[in-house]
Chain A
Amino acid sequence: MTTPSDSLKLLVVDDHEAVLGGTVMTLEKAYPMATIRTASTVQSAQTELSYGTPDLLMMDLSIPIAPGETSEIEAGIELLRSLLERYPDLNIVVQSAHVRSLVRLKPAIDSHQAGFTIADKNLPMQEMLTKVDWALKGLIYTPRDMRAGIEVKPEWLEVLRLAFKEGLQDKAIAEEMNVAERTVRHYWTKVQDALEVYPEAGKNIRIQTEIQAREEGLID
């Protein structure tokens, strides 16, 4: 469930002052009542997180470990790896000019329980805000070129089968699969990302998922 925007807490991590300023300005326009904190290094990001987990963390990948050090993708990747481990419920947007390096963390991203979206820094403002909105809603978005073909896991296929062949709702699917209903919702976001089905105004995302799953031959 999305947190009401008046109580949102956002943390933005970027070492480039002008980019950080631009991102914060953009978020302030979209979420005027939100509290936005910033960090420019791995260490300051960790310090900010120690004060409390935000509703969403937006981070660059190329950042320094400490003030005065050189920005490195490895530093951002390692920070993200530790965040995925320690904060399974944290909604994350990676906004970077190095998004392809995220393929190194693909297994960890695949098992992340909360929202996770990837926004190339070159995205227009409105598209960047869409990725923020999706992450806040707990959705998953990874760019197509990070995948060699459609990757689906057996449990995602089972969700599709139970929903579209047996006609079950999430609660019944959860009982059938012996998992929490929340886990079923997580499987939905994963399979929707694999099928590249994302929220669109006026369209029912479950029906879009069924259409796409049939087109790809995942269900008969």
Chain B
Amino acid sequence: MAIEIPNHIELLRWWHRYQAQLLNQETDFVRNGLLQEIIALRRRLEVACHTHPASQPYDCHTQLSEMQRLYELVEDFCHRLESPYQQDSLPLALQSALQPWVRSLNLQTELAQTWSVEPIEQTRLLLLLTKTLFDTLSAMEPQPTTTLLTLVENNGSKQLWVQAEYEPALLTPTFATSIEQALQPFLETFRLLAQADCAPMFQTDLFSLKLSWRSPALAPS
């Protein structure tokens, strides 16, 4: 059997897509199984407590709170497996995934209200990339005074732009090296998969990262 020499970029794309689909299946499995069982238990408990609140052998409020906590733990696990909206909308997926940094990084977002279809492996990679970036920024000193994430699409041309502003003259070469080390594998992979331009920029009071790419149907072959 002759084995063709693979197109390495296509192989890499397949692998990332396969991983994204696998995690989607696992997430659905948990949502359709464990979460449904918790919901059913909770409804039965709610009805029983509502109907005969005094005759229950347990404290209804405590039991319902425990059930709620269990549900939230499992749901949080689902979100770790697959970010909300990952299958459907990059702007909404970003809006949801970046909530933990809104306060700590003084993060503001300007997100497109509509978005053309994005390959699932690219959406996942962009989410991982931005989460890693914000994790890194929030773990380092100094902290930005403001952070802005902009996502725009114009005639199939897409751009994700992150700007973190700092007090004047605070950023050092070490800072730039740390950011570059954290982001480089993601940027290289995204550059390959999306044929994207990735432009990080460091000044003494500003870090900026601009990613530009085209919709798949419009990207040069």
Contact = CB atoms under 8 A, between A and B. Distances in A.
A44 interface: no
Contacts of B96: 145
Nearest to A19: B40
Interface string A66-93: 0000010100000000000000000000
Given A62-B28, A122-B75, A23 B43 contact: yes
A122 B152 CA distance: 34
A144 to B, nearest CB: 10
Contact of A22 (B32, B39, B88, B113): B39
- Majority SS of interface residues in chain A? helix
Given A29-B51, A122-B68, A103 B43 contact: no
B89 interface: yes
A151 interface: yes
A16 interface: yes
A212 interface: no
A44 B45 CA distance: 28
Interface in B5-63: 28, 31-32, 35-37, 39-44, 46-47, 50-51
A18 B37 contact: yes
A95 to B, nearest CB: 9
Given A103-B88, A122-B75, A26 B35 contact: no
A16 B40 CA distance: 9
A75 to B, nearest CB: 12
A73 B39 CA distance: 18
B95 interface: yes
A211 interface: no
A214 interface: no
A38 B68 CA distance: 26
Given A22-B47, A73-B28, A151-B113, A97 B92 contact: no
A48 to B, nearest CB: 21
A19 B36 contact: yes
A148 B28 contact: no
Please provide the 5 A-B residue pairs with the shortest distance between their CB atoms, ordered closest to farther: A22-B43, A18-B40, A125-B46, A148-B111, A16-B36
Given A21-B40, A98-B28, 10 more contacts: A16-B39, A19-B40, A22-B40, A25-B43, A71-B32, A100-B84, A100-B88, A103-B89, A122-B72, A125-B50
18 contacts: A18-B36, A18-B40, A19-B39, A22-B46, A22-B47, A25-B43, A25-B47, A26-B46, A97-B36, A97-B39, A100-B92, A104-B88, A125-B43, A125-B46, A145-B96, A146-B92, A148-B92, A151-B113
Interface of B: 28, 31-32, 35-37, 39-44, 46-47, 50-51, 64, 68, 71-72, 75, 84-85, 87-89, 91-92, 95-96, 111-113
